[in-house]
Structure 1
Amino acid sequence: MRSIWKGSLSFGLVNVPVKLYSATEDHDVPLHMVHDADGGRIRYKRVCEIDGETVDYEHIVKAYVDGDQTVVLTDDDFAALPVERSKDIDVVEFVPTAQIDPLMFEKSYFLAPDSKSTKAYVLLMRTLEDADRTAIVKFALRQKTRLAALRVRDGVLVLQTLLWDDEVREARFPELDESPNITKAELDMSKQLVESFASDFAPEKFTDEYQEQLRTLVEAKLEQGDALDTEATFGRATDGGGEVLDLMEALKRSVEKRRGGGTKKKPKTAAS
């Protein structure tokens, strides 16, 4: 795994150098949009609505639209914000784990020690375990201030970003304003049904059947020869010079040809 952020975890006077890693990954079969007539890759251009010109990423910035006015925000504007210069994960408080509504969980990360000495890291981890509490922390990641829950999982600190309170909608449905009459017999029967399905949760028992079937479908088409030549469709040149393949795509194809001598390979899953 490759770390996506480095900083320090501040716990009172204790400072723990840490590295942040994504704890989850996407295994969906990677799909592209193509022209149904010839399999040509469909690409989107970044066109300015004023001059009609295609704009390079280096000249694209963000803006806030306030009715008739637009405020353009540059990279320097974001860099000037105090929170964006912070490389600290600050522990705000320790709360009972049961008080955190799972609805607030957003994305999970692993925190690994970024120092030869792991004493401070292990100290905080054991403190959380012994206290049976979760640390609420604040930090900055990707130009946003984040609220997160810090806990221990399998001997590693796990950071789970949280939604802010005003980002969680209030569930109010008129249909539930009047509670229907539930008889004891109906409730008992429902409890029996629940009991018949009772089990311990084992996530390894469950798989994404749709992705498995999609992967099988793609492999079957490859084996039957029902496929187009990628270089001819995605990298086709035209009289005007054509669309140049990006560097990563060219390198990827070169590596695949060197490894397999041009043989067809099974589709790989996309990692986050």
Structure 2
Amino acid sequence: MRAIWKGAVAFGLVNVPVKVYSATEDHDVALHQVHDKDGGRIRYQRRCEVCGKVVDYANIDKAYDDGEHTVILTAEDLESLPAEKSREIEVVEFIPSEQLDPIMLDRSYYLEPDSSSTKAYTLLRRTLEKTDRTAIVKFALRQKTRLGALRVRGDVLMLQTLLWADEVREASFPSLEEKPRISAKELEMSAALVDSFSEDFAPEEFEDDYQVQLRQLLEAKIAQGDAIDTEATFGEPANEEEGAKVLDLMEALRRSVERTKSGGKNDGKDAKGKAAAPEGGKPRTGAPGGRSTARAAGKKKGA
């Protein structure tokens, strides 16, 4: 990994030099746009509206337009701001970890000690662990002042940027104003369904089905000379009529509980959630692009 930023965590008189690394990465298949007639690559150009020339990034500045005036800001202007110059991750308060609403979490970064001695880093990490607290911090990164949460993940300090309070939208839906009556039996059946699905979370057991199927499609096209029938790769879409029927809530809960108890055999799947194979054929996985058997990203591996 390559450090994207260097600075120091500061709380009280304690200063902890750190390097910052992106904690996540994108593995999606990279696709680009082409002309459907001849396959020619579609490219976007940064063209000046005044002179008509294509402009390199090195010659691009930023500007603010209030409708009457345009103010141009150079890279030097932006770098001159005090907040941008700061290399300090300032701890403003320590809060009970459960008070941090997950909706506010944005990007995640790992912090590595940037000093010959890791004592201050280790002290901060162990203090957060022992007190079950999360440090709320302020810092500047990439021309923006940011709010962050400093917490522990394993043996590493992790910095997660937070959305500002006014960036989180309130959920207000008229449909929720009506308070339906939920019976004790419905709650009991719903709890039984939750209990039947209860497991310890193992993120490595899940994968992005869409990306897996996209790679299958690409490999099949390459193997067959860039011409392949999608149904030949993924099979026929399943019949949606039965799944489209509106069921009574209690009936849906009852069927769900029975299905999990029987290992999922009632819905055409085996005990591990794999689609049952049709006679003389292979299990169907469904195709991307809206086919009925496709699943949203996050289905369990092998399911």
Identify the residue that residue 51 of structure 2 maps to in structure 1.
51
Distance 1:113 1:211 in 2: 36
Counterparts of residues 1-272 of structure 1 (less than 5 Å): 1-226=1-226
SS in 1 for 2:207: coil
Q: Which moved more, 1:155-164 or 1:114-123?
A: 114-123
C-alpha offsets along residues 172-191 of structure 1, whole Å, 9 cap, x if unaligned? 11111121122222222222
Deviation (angstroms), 1:62: 1.3
Identity between Structure 1 and Structure 2 (%):
68
Identify the residue that residue 267 of structure 1 maps to in structure 2.
none
Runs of 4+ in 1 over 4 A off after TM superposition: none
Distance 2:71 2:189 in 1: 60
Distance 1:187 1:164 in 2: 36
Distance 1:22 1:161 in 2: 11
Residues paired across the two proteins, number: 227
Q: Which moved more, 1:35-44 or 1:54-63?
A: 35-44
SS in 1 for 2:221: helix
Deviation (angstroms), 1:61: 1.3
Aligned AA (2:37) = A
C-alpha offsets along residues 23-73 of structure 1, whole Å, 9 cap, x if unaligned? 000010111112233332211111122332222212211122212332222
SS in 2 for 1:143: coil
TM-score (normalised: structure 1):
0.80
Distance 2:181 2:82 in 1: 56
Distance 1:123 1:132 in 2: 14
SS in 2 for 1:120: helix
Identify the residue that residue 260 of structure 1 maps to in structure 2.
none
Distance 1:210 1:55 in 2: 37
Distance 1:57 1:122 in 2: 42
Distance 1:38 1:19 in 2: 48
Q: Which moved more, 1:82-91 or 1:210-219?
A: 210-219
C-alpha offsets along residues 182-201 of structure 1, whole Å, 9 cap, x if unaligned? 22222222222222211211
Q: Which runs of 5+ in 2 are unaligned?
A: 228-303
Distance 1:70 1:188 in 2: 63
Aligned AA (2:179) = S
Q: Which moved more, 1:19-28 or 1:58-67?
A: 58-67
Aligned AA (2:14) = V
Aligned AA (1:89) = I
Aligned AA (2:30) = P
Q: Which runs of 5+ in 1 are unaligned?
A: 228-272
SS in 2 for 1:121: helix
Aligned AA (2:57) = Y
Identify the residue that residue 274 of structure 2 maps to in structure 1.
none
C-alpha offsets along residues 78-135 of structure 1, whole Å, 9 cap, x if unaligned? 1121100000111111100000000000010000011121111111111111111001
Distance 1:208 1:65 in 2: 42
Q: Which moved more, 1:90-99 or 1:177-186?
A: 177-186
Aligned AA (1:185) = K
Aligned AA (1:51) = C
Distance 1:173 1:62 in 2: 39
Aligned AA (2:128) = L
Two-structure CA RMSD over aligned residues (Å): 1.4
Distance 1:117 1:127 in 2: 17
TM-score (normalised: structure 2):
0.72
Distance 1:224 1:13 in 2: 66
Aligned AA (2:197) = F
Q: Which has the higher contact order (CA 8 A, sep 6+)?
A: 1
Distance 2:194 2:154 in 1: 30
Deviation (angstroms), 1:161: 0.5
SS in 2 for 1:130: helix
Identify the residue that residue 241 of structure 1 maps to in structure 2.
none
Aligned AA (2:116) = K
SS in 1 for 2:76: helix
